[in-house]
Amino acid sequence: MHPILKLVSQRLALGLLLLLAASALIFVGTQILPGDVAQSILGQSATPEALANLRKDLGLNEPALSRYFSWLGGAIQGDLGTALTNGQDIATSMGKRLGNTLFLAFWAAVVSVPLAIFLGLVAVRYKDRWPDKMISAVTLTSISIPEFLIGYVLMYFVGVKLGWAPSVAMINDSMSLGQKLHAIALPVTVLTLVVLAHMMRMTRAAILNVMQSAYIETAELKGLSSFQVISRHAFPNAIAPIVNVVMLNLAYLVVGVVVVEVVFVYPGMGQYLVDHVAKRDVPVVQACGLVFAAVYILLNMVADIVSILANPRLRHPK
Amino acid sequence: MQDQLDYLAKRASAGKLSRRDFMGKASALGVSAAAASTMFATAAKAASHKKGGDLKIGSTGGESTNSLDPATYASQVPYHNGRQFGDTLVEVSATGDIEGRLATSVESTPDAKTWMFKLRQGVEFHNGKTMTGEDVMKTMERHSNEDSKSGALGVMKNIESMKVEGDTFSVTLKNANADLPYLMADYHLIIQPNGGMDNPAEGVGTGPYKMEVDEPGVRHMYSKFANYWGDDGHFDSVEILAINDATARTAALQSGQVHLINRLEPKIAGLLSRAPGVSVQSTPGRGHYVFIMHTNTAPFDSKELRLALKYAINREEMVEKILRGYGSVGNDMPINAAYPLFDSSIPQRMYDVDKAKEHYAKSGHDGSPIILRTADGAFPGAVEAAQLFQQSAQAAGIPLEIKREPNDGYWSEVWNKQPFCASYWGGRPVQDQMYSTAYLSSADWNDTKFNNPEFDAKLLAAKAELDLTKRKALYSEMGNIVRDEGGLICPMFNDFIDGVSDKLVGWETDPNGELMNGQVTRKLSFA
């Protein structure tokens, strides 16, 4: 078997085991939380009778272990079940939210990844001169400010005062792509500012590291321009750590944007998950957890494989 | 006759009938000149509303877990959803009277035990079916039967039997209740086809707007229902957006993305009222913020200690600092002037350090810190309010220790379980319902564990008392009992604070609920 194929299949199997462990952890977590779904649905207006009726209807009187295994049995067959709180099909309603989250993450990545790498290259080219210092200062400042604050500031100046982009980033099926992009302009900006510094600094550090190698000196001596040296010789050798940090940030764009979603009222997965955790709607929390865990595991796997492919020594092990 | 009058009013509001003609035809039906004149004015007002436009509301309290099933409504977005597609039998008007909706009139037997609702005829559901008495009966059954998990179950418990005869739906009660029509105005009791027994969450009702899009926690979209029975509801479409973040909600109103928002924070309401293009509507209501003590648990089982704490809270300061003036002081009873039959002669309890010291000394408390539990979610500003309380009590030598609890799980683990905590009540349309819900010794939500036989007896007597003067006297005595004996510390009644775009006209003050008791989409229109 080709070593790469072998590696991928090993990683996939490990990923599945991790998913199983994650689902068990999430289930235990939701059981430890105080109150149950019946109590949360009825809230302050819960009477003991209504509670008992609801618990019976939702099957909460079954022991926890058998509830977990009946959920697991369904999930393995691709049936995520229905939400306890409003009876909607989880796969359908979550699919829509996941689509929205991926849409936002995709456009944020389209803007931020090339921008970060480009800025990283520029910073290396003008190392320790004013462009390098300015890029570092601006991106480090933007990563240090909490994202909700950047969100509110943009909302006030760009959304309310200038009126360039809507302050509420609600998208729905009846909108055209252009309208959708206009609607998500502000959250994409915020996300870009948040992830930019990490990727930019990593690009800069990785390339600077490579720049000290002997073959770079050779390239310089044979008369290549400094940008050519960086993009042709330094960048390909620095790709592994850069891909790693890019993947981590992509994972953040998918699973870590709850705050940005709440601030801009964006109908994504984050808000969907928080609502259901608050209501102790275990099947939905499980499903969301699985999706998030899968995204994380998958992106990390991609990062590993790319760094192996990018390195001839790892590609042809002796 | 009612049908003919409705017809005339409709023609008048459509501009097809002059005032003179309307008055003539109405008096021919036996209506007095004064009444006919009022009717014409109402109809003409409806005519002056501009029709059309797409209304957008930004509301807090919308979660992905929401359902359109009226039995499950517990937060604001579902409440407003129900107001769009559904109708109740009767509604409480802004002045506190009972107004017919799907019932045209209400009568009772003299003992207030049997109530007859005359049902409106020719009302069409959004699925094309005509509403029948059977639909009404099934709806009430679904909210009151053994399997019910309805938020209205508490108000339905007293019903012994129900029946439908022709166009009359009648309810017989176990115990007399002179306020039954107010209970039937509960927003959960939306009449659904076959009572919603088949598919409670389908969002089909008789309301002015028909459900088009249902995305829980995101948006709900409605379009005007062509065969709606009433003449209100002037918009082409209504969209309710779930915007839970207060800053985002305010920004959406200011940038014109929505026309109405609810639950403005008091601290930004003052600033927003100076912004162009929008206005802030503050409505005194019946909701109140409270600190509740379990009267059966030490040390709160001592009446002296309860009184000491009641004298040790500075109500004016709370209204000024927590509500920023958008509210009024409470008087340690759950009733204020927004309720019918309120006795305004009951003296206001003030912050009094000397009396607090005196009662504290009499209580013989050992001086150990008294634990007060609070959370941001108990009511807006609950943590700050507890700190103010701690300071004012400190001045009287009463040590309070604040224990901050997480919002998550507060209503299941702290409220109604711990002996002293912060909480809120939304208020009820009438005094009887408020007292029966939370102060009757056998009530499920008796969150002060109040057990006073004299109070219980008076409450039962007041229920059956149709003489308003006598009832008012009974309520006054009950208010005094709760105020002096009860476990309730009520520092303030909060206003409903809504934000309204200047593009809308027709705003009226309605103390029954936020956004004009949810009637904004029916009564407002674009200018």
Give the mean model confidence (pLDDT) for residues B382-388. 94
Distance from C-alpha of A188 to C-alpha of A173, rounded to nearest angstrom: 19
Q: Tally the C-alpha atoms within 13 A of residue B271's C-alpha that lie toward its C-beta.
A: 9
Shortest distance, CA A68 to any CA of chain B (angstroms)? 21
Closest-CA distance, B486 to chain A, in angstroms, reads: 20
**What residues in chain A have per-residue pLDDT under 50?**
none
- The three-state DSSP-derived secondary structure of B141-152 is HHHHCCCCCCCC
Which residues in chain A are contacts of B216 at CB distance < 8 A? 86, 88, 93
Q: Cβ separation of A160 and B216 shorter than 8 Å?
A: no
Burial B316-330 (b: 16+ CB within 10 A, else e): ebbbebbbbebbbbb
Contact A97 B64 (CB under 8 A): yes
Is the Cβ pair B218, A155 closer than 8 Å? no
Domains and CATH numbers, chain B: 1-48 (no CATH), 87-199 (3.90.76.10), 209-284+496-526 (3.40.190.10), 288-494 (3.10.105.10)
A41/B153 touch (CB, cutoff 8 Å), yes or no: no
How far apart CA B316 and CA B309 sit, in angstroms, is: 16
Tell me, what's the pLDDT at B273?
Answer: 87
Nearest to B261 by CA among B276, B277, B241, B287: B241
- A45/B65 touch (CB, cutoff 8 Å), yes or no: no
Nearest CB to B409 within list A34, A48, A271: A34
- Give the span between the Cα atoms of B91 and B391, in whole angstroms: 43
Task: Give the start-end residues of each E strand in B394-487.
Answer: 400-404, 420-425
> Are the C-beta atoms of residues B272 and B257 closer than 8 Å to each other?
no
The structural domains of chain A, with segments of one domain joined by +, span: 18-76, 91-279
Distance, in Å, from the CA atom of A137 to the CA atom of A131, rounded to the nearest integer, reads 10
Q: Which residue has the tokens 């790709």?
A: A239
Q: Among all residues of chain A, which has the CA nearest to that of B255?
A: A160
Question: Which of residues 282 through 301 in chain B touch A, CB cutoff 8 A?
Answer: none
B20 touches chain A (CB under 8 A): no
Reduced 3-state DSSP string for B130-142 = ECCHHHHHHHHHH
Relative orientation angle of helices B431-438 and B468-485, to the nearest 10 degrees: 40
| H helices, E strands: number in chain B | 19, 19
Q: What is the C-alpha to C-alpha distance for residues A275 and B366, in angstroms, rounded to an integer?
A: 44
Average pLDDT on B306-327 reads 94
Check if B61 contacts A (Cβ < 8 Å).
no
The pTM of the full predicted model, rounded to 2 decimals, is 0.82
* B201 contacts in chain A (CB < 8 Å): 86-87
pLDDT in the model for residue B74: 81
Q: How confident is the model at residue B521 (pLDDT cuts 50, 70, 90)?
A: very high
**pLDDT over threshold 90, residue B241:** yes
Mean pLDDT of B62-66: 86
Question: Closest approach of chain B CAs to the CA of A129, in angstroms?
Answer: 41
- Is B248 at the interface with chain A, CB within 8 A? yes
Q: Is B401 exposed, middle or buried (0-12, 13-18, 19+ CB in 10 A)?
A: exposed
Residues of A in Cβ contact (< 8 Å) with B152: none
Tell me which residues of chain B, numbers 153 to 212, contact chain A at a CB-CB cutoff of 8 Å: 153-154, 201
Q: Which of residues 298-357 of B touch A (CB under 8 A)?
A: none
In this structure, whether the domain defined by A91-279 belongs to CATH 1.10.3720.10 is answered with yes
Instruction: Count the Cβ atoms, other than its own, within 10 Å of residue B225.
Output: 20
Q: What is the tens place of the pLDDT at every residue in B7-30?
A: 666 655 555 566 666 666 666 666
Q: Who has greater pLDDT, B418 or B157? A: B418
B255/A48 touch (CB, cutoff 8 Å), yes or no: no
Q: Residue B223: pLDDT above 70?
A: yes
- DSSP-derived secondary structure letter, B348: P
pLDDT > 90: what percent of chain B? 63
Q: What is the mean pLDDT of chain B?
A: 89
| Whole-complex ipTM | 0.79
Nearest to B240 by CA among B60, B67, B64, B73: B60
Task: Provide the CB-side half-sphere exposure for A226 (13 A, CA).
Answer: 10
* Closest-CA distance of chain A to residue B440, Å: 15
Do the chains contact at B215 and A172, CB–CB below 8 Å? yes
- Per residue in B283-312, pLDDT tens? 998 999 999 999 999 899 999 999 999 999
Sort out which chain B residues have CB atoms less than 8 A from A272's CB and list them: 64, 217
pLDDT at A66: 84
pLDDT of amino acid A240:
84
Would you state the pLDDT for residue B435?
92
Residues of chain A in contact with residue B412, where contact means CB-CB under 8 angstroms, are 34-35, 39-40
Q: Which residues, at least 6 apart from B158, have a Cβ–Cβ distance to it below 8 Å?
A: B173, B174, B175, B177
pLDDT(B42) > 70: no
Task: Decide if pLDDT at B43 tops 60.
Answer: no
Nearest CA in chain A to B437: A45
Q: Which residue of A has its CA nearest to B377?
A: A44
Element at B223 (helix H, strand E): strand B219-224
Provide the pLDDT for residue B96.
83
Condensed to tens digits (0 to 9), the pLDDT of residues B423-472 reads 999 888 889 989 988 899 988 788 999 999 999 999 999 988 888 899 99
HEC profile for chain A? CCHHHHHHHHHHHHHHHHHHHHHHHHHHHHHHCCCCHHHHHHHHHCCHHHHHHHHHHHCCCCCHHHHHHHHHHHHHCCCCCECCCCCCEHHHHHHHHHHHHHHHHHHHHHHHHHHHHHHHHHHHHCCCCHHHHHHHHHHHHHHHCCHHHHHHHHHHHHHHHHCCCCCCCCCCCCCCHHHHHHHCHHHHHHHHHHHHHHHHHHHHHHHHHHHCCHHHHHHHHCCCCHHHHHHHHHHHHCHHHHHHHHHHHHHHHHHCCHHHHHHCCCCCHHHHHHHHHHCCCHHHHHHHHHHHHHHHHHHHHHHHHHHHHHCHHHHCCC
- Taken as a whole, chain B contains a residue count of 527
Q: Which of B253, B411, B412 to mutate to test the interface with A (most CBs of A within 10 A)?
A: B412
Question: pLDDT band at residue B503, thresholds of 50, 70 and 90?
Answer: very high
- C-beta separation of B385 from B433 below 8 A: no
